[in-house]
Amino acid sequence: MQLQDILFSQGFGTRRVCAGLVQQGRVEVFDPEITAWLGVGDASQDFSPENLRFRVQGTEWAYHAKAYLMLHKPAGTECSQKPSTWPSIYSLLPGPLRQRPQKGAIQGVQAVGRLDQDSTGLLLLTDDGQFIHRMSSPRHHIPKVYEVRTKHAVDEQQVSRLLDGVVLDDSPKPVKAADCRAVDHHHLRLTLTEGKYHQVKRMLAAVGNRVETLHRSQIGQLRLPADLAPGQWRWLSREDLASIGP
């Protein structure tokens, strides 16, 4: 695969821009045989993209045929490419991830589901449309765990009602929590397997309580790493992807 095509696929601009980066000496490729970085001057030079490591303007990248990321979403950000009030979560990502080419008008990685602007925690992003569809499909019932701080003290009756199901105004069918535990008087650990608009807040309101803070700590068996600070992101490993679900 030509180097300019590799750079293009990773979001470094048009093929012409990518060729220019190479010709200007801004791209290096790591040679594992001599364990050294080598400058490349020919944008049409072929490389095997598998396990390829390269540097663009001094920043190291690894080739990824598809991008799968986790982001620790901070409060005060919107999961939108065109935010209305708050900064976009996409502003937390480097340019190449926002510019990875896709079919149609959309570019870059996209959030898999959303968190409200005041919510925090684990958010997945990808440019794999099939992955987004699979994760969003209600058929798969992928559990998501939320840490909920409540305004009023939580009692056993509220926990029981959340487990038995509450009726929301847009669905005649009761919505149930897959699991619900009171960690302390104002802290619920709530597990859901479906996603509706403002679902956690509306479920708590339905049982006479109110959400003060909402944090998603887990998707499937994938937990938000303790060392991933708000606003930081990292690539998902194969093990991470396997732990999420089907």
| 47 backbone φψ class: left, alpha, beta (φ>0; ψ -120 to 50) | beta
How far is it, in rounded angstroms, from Cα 81 to Cα 18? 24
List the catalytic residue out of 5, 116, 128, 179.
116
User: Closest Cα partner for 110 from 118, 121, 122, 99?
Assistant: 99
Question: Residue 21 in 3-state DSSP?
Answer: helix
Q: Among this protein's residues, is 170 annotated catalytic?
A: no
Q: How far apart are CA 199 and CA 163, in angstroms?
A: 14
Token pair, residue 51, equals: 């396990």
Distance between CA 185 and CA 12 in Å, rounded? 50
> Any idea which residues carry the catalytic annotation?
116
